[in-house]
Amino acid sequence: MKKLVILVAIGALVGLFNYLDGSQYLSLSQFRTWVDTRPLMAAGIYFGSYVLMTGLSLPGAALMTMIGGAVFGLGWGLLLVSFASTMGASLAFLVSRSLLRDWVQGRFSRQLATINEGVERDGAYYLFSLRLIPVIPFFVINLVFGLVPMRLWTFYWVSQIGMLAGTAVFVNAGAELGSVGELSLGGILTPGIIGSLVLLATFPLIAKLLGTYLQQRQLNKRFAKPKHFDTNLLVIGGGSAGLVSALIAAAVKAKVTLVEKHKMGGDCLNTGCVPSKALIRSAAVAHQLQNAEAFGFTEVQSKVDFAAVMERVQSVIKTIEPHDSVERFTGLGVDCLQGDARIISPWEVQVGERIIRSRNIVIATGASPFVPPIPGIESTGYLTSETLWALREQPKHMMILGAGPIGCELAQAFARLGTKVTLVDMENRILPREDTDVAQLVADRLQAEGVRVLVGHKTIGFQQKSDGAQWASLESAGAVSEQHFDTLLVAVGRKANTTDLGLETLGIDLTPQGTVAVDDYLRTRYHSIYACGDVAGPYQFTHMASHQAWFASVNALFGFVKKFKVDYKVVPFATFTDPEVARVGLSETEARAQGLEYDVSRYDLEDLDRAIAEGENHGFIKVLTAKGSDRVLGATIVGYRASDLITEYVSAMKQGYGLNKILGTIHIYPTMSEANKFVAGNWKRANAPEGLLRWVEKLHRWRR
């Protein structure tokens, strides 16, 4: 009943204001008339109108503020606006709290738990920052803070102080403009007005800088900042992101320390990109031998020596290892340390018994395979992409959980080496982030090579029978079935390595995805601590880790002069199945979800001369362009060497040229890259100016 009364009252006030055309009474001329004749009444009407306008979250507060300065002058205007705006904000706060807080807190209690805890801890300062830096409209702040556990008195006095600087700037601008008598160029271009307009324009920047300074001071006040530092940059993690961060810092002659607790090179070198591609290559050779007759060879015999295949994988790692070694990076000027690192302050990291003081810190600890909490999974002796490489005895029947890129790549590789493979995923198709036609083509190839693909199947449990056989219980469309296997490989995704780093002690936030929360400059809430690579997301690719590392290290070392926002506009990636899948930009599914209008140009590789000669004439190129334009929105390639072919579209999107430029570029014959020119030709034919061509045809006919 109370909520209903409040809603009716608000509706009645808003309706009455509109019905009586209340805005006519809030004009500058009207207030000036009242000030001349009845100043107290004018102040009362102005004050009440401002409170109601703010309390009801009506638009026009900025204009009303400047009117206050123009009518009442800087002193009285500032006094009236300061208290009226704060009282109005508090009224909006109470309205929001009365109507919505209980429902919102009850409905989203779990999601709001962290926010509530943060508000209780330092909500006053957070509110002050928002009031000082108007990145969010004030009326939104009023309503949102009514939903969280903050006392009304705290909200009132913080708002009163926080809004004072901005209020003064707007009131002063109004006062200066209000002092203009006869409208003339000389009357407007006075030092006072020019100064007010400059202050009005620069206030957001000044407030932002001041707010950032105060925010960092508030965060850092419980820590003693060292007077001197041992190093300019300390990097935690020796994977792709950490190595590139350290390399860049050393290249610009900074003193840099790199801490790695396990193996240099991280996941990519030791358990990810390098070993998986070595395994895929061996599997590809096995597949070629098995299909040698298609290339004119008969009676070709081969036998897979699985242990030798896995030893070759290790030899490839050993060959590349020196590129990421301690010796190499030490020679480049990086101080490399082995051990567990724990951040104990915004400038200090403990490694063993040693405490290192660093001007800036970069977290680059990567990610690890995620193992879902499925009943019985611990008893299976499951493998992940990290533990897989210790295998020397070939699995007879491998079950792979997860049909994303890692799952699909390994499923095909093990199947080609002779292992019976069952690929399981709860999604309705493999490679769920790709378009249906892309996923279906790869699925058909996997099934043709003997992989059993079970999509739309949720794994609900594992058990071991009395004979020692292992079984998985799968649920699909309400029915439960059992699947036998002897080796389980879990490939359902990866989680950021954030534990035991001291993040909780410092209050460094994590995203809902479990990655370290960073801003556009890759800074955490402490601007001396950065994060990049898989631990920061949002893309867990090696090339993205290296890309982010540049921004993290440069911003850490030179951010006091110039900061750079990390660029995610053009991010390519590939799945190294056969056929390969490579993409940059939008898929059709994503474009439709965003409501974009687009054209699709497609070229099937079955017609490409080089693909036919290679025996790889399967797959296609699909390019999305803006409607009626050759500007590339996204490109997907499914086929032989797709990961190489995609680079032309990456360049086009990065440099801002379209399919016309690709069509006008000479491509060597016969190569796979000609396909990019042919798809551009298909776009050109589909967008030919038919009206002009009809006139040209008539011209040629006349000339004959």
More confidently predicted of 142 and 374: 374
Task: Supply the pLDDT for residue 14.
Answer: 57
Task: Supply the pLDDT for residue 189.
Answer: 40
Sorted by where each starts, the structural domains of the chain and their CATH numbers stand as 2-220 (no CATH), 231-369+496-558 (3.50.50.60), 377-491 (3.50.50.60), 579-690 (3.30.390.30)
User: Is 635 in contact with 439 (CB distance < 8 Å)?
Assistant: no
Alpha-carbon gap, residue 132 to 163, rounded angstroms: 6
Q: Write the single-letter amino acid at 315.
A: S
SS (H, E, C) 7-72: HHHHHHHHHHHHHCCHHHHHCHHHHHHHHHHCHHHHHHHHHHHHHHHHHCCCCCHHHHHHHHHHHH
Quick one: average pLDDT of 13-24?
Answer: 57
Identify any residues that bridge with 362 across adjacent strands, giving them in sequence order.
235, 530
Residue 223 Cα to chain centre, angstroms: 30
Burial letters 268-283, b for 16+ CB under 10 A, else e: bbbbbbbbbebbbbbb
3-state SS assignment for residue 634: strand
Nearest to 619, CA basis, from 451, 447, 439: 439
Nearest to 439, CA basis, from 422, 452, 449, 453: 453
Cβ count within 10 A of residue 198: 11
pLDDT tens for 219-245 read: 778 888 999 999 999 999 999 999 999
Alpha-carbon gap, residue 537 to 370, rounded angstroms: 15
Quick one: average pLDDT of 67-73?
Answer: 79
- Put simply, whether the predicted model's pTM sits higher than 0.85 gets the answer no
Written as six digits, the tokens of 531 are 């994060």
What value, to the nearest 5°, has the Cα angle with vertex 423 and ends 417 and 424? 165
Mean of all residue pLDDT scores within the chain: 86
Alpha-carbon gap, residue 547 to 542, rounded angstroms: 9
pLDDT tens for 106-138 read: 655 555 555 566 566 666 767 777 776 655 667
Task: Supply the pLDDT for residue 143.
Answer: 74
Identify any residues that bridge with 575 across adjacent strands, giving them in sequence order.
581
More confidently predicted of 118 and 70: 70
What percent of the chain is modeled with pLDDT above 70?
85
pLDDT tens for 162-214 read: 788 777 877 777 777 666 544 333 343 445 544 554 554 555 556 566 667 76
Of the pLDDT bands very low, low, confident and very high (cuts 50, 70, 90), residue 7 is low
Q: Write the single-letter amino acid at 219.
A: L
In the sheet with 420-425, reading across from the earlier edge strand, the strands are 452-455, 420-425, 397-401, 487-490
Alpha-carbon gap, residue 99 to 352, rounded angstroms: 53
pLDDT tens for 436-453 read: 999 999 999 999 999 999
Pairing of strands 572-575, 580-585: antiparallel
Nearest to 573, CA basis, from 602, 547, 551, 543: 543
Task: Supply the pLDDT for residue 532.
Answer: 97
37-46, 175-184, 307-316, range with the lowest pLDDT: 175-184
Instruction: Look at the block and give the residue holding tokens 């995610």.
Output: 568
pLDDT tens for 254-274 read: 999 999 999 999 999 999 999
167-181, 559-573, 646-660, range with the lowest pLDDT: 167-181
Task: Supply the pLDDT for residue 59.
Answer: 67
More confidently predicted of 315 and 192: 315
3-state SS assignment for residue 415: helix
Q: Write the single-letter amino acid at 154.
A: T
Task: Supply the pLDDT for residue 80.
Answer: 86
User: Is 573 in contact with 583 (CB distance < 8 Å)?
Assistant: yes
Task: Supply the pLDDT for residue 63.
Answer: 74
Q: In the predicted model, is pLDDT for residue 647 greater than 80? A: yes
DSSP state of 704: -
Q: In the predicted model, is pLDDT for residue 317 greater than 80? A: yes
Q: Residues for the chain: how many in total?
A: 704
User: Is 572 in contact with 582 (CB distance < 8 Å)?
Assistant: yes
What value, to the nearest 5°, has the Cα angle with vertex 343 and ends 339 and 349? 60
Task: Supply the pLDDT for residue 219.
Answer: 74
3-state SS assignment for residue 353: coil
Instruction: Look at the block and give the residue holding tokens 């359902």.
Output: 492
SS (H, E, C) 640-672: CCHHHHCHHHHHHHHHCCCHHHHHCCCCCCCCC
Task: Supply the pLDDT for residue 177.
Answer: 65
pLDDT tens for 397-437 read: 999 999 999 999 999 999 999 999 999 999 999 999 999 99
**Exposed/middle/buried for residue 648 (C-beta within 10 Å: 0-12, 13-18, 19+):** buried
Q: In the predicted model, is pLDDT for residue 253 greater than 90? A: yes
Alpha-carbon gap, residue 450 to 401, rounded angstroms: 17
Q: Write the single-letter amino acid at 144.
A: V
Written as six digits, the tokens of 96 are 């929001």
Written as six digits, the tokens of 258 are 């790199």
Task: Supply the pLDDT for residue 697.
Answer: 81
Contacts of 228 (CB under 8 A, 6+ apart): 357
Written as six digits, the tokens of 36 are 């001349």
Burial letters 56-67, b for 16+ CB under 10 A, else e: bbbeebeebbbb
Q: At what angle do helices 164-178 and 152-162 cross, to 10 degrees?
A: 50
What percent of the chain is modeled with pLDDT above 90?
61
Cβ count within 10 A of residue 249: 29
User: DSSP string spanning 139-189?
Assistant: HHHHHHHTTSS--HHHHHHHHHHHTHHHHHHHHHHHHHHHT--S--HHHHS
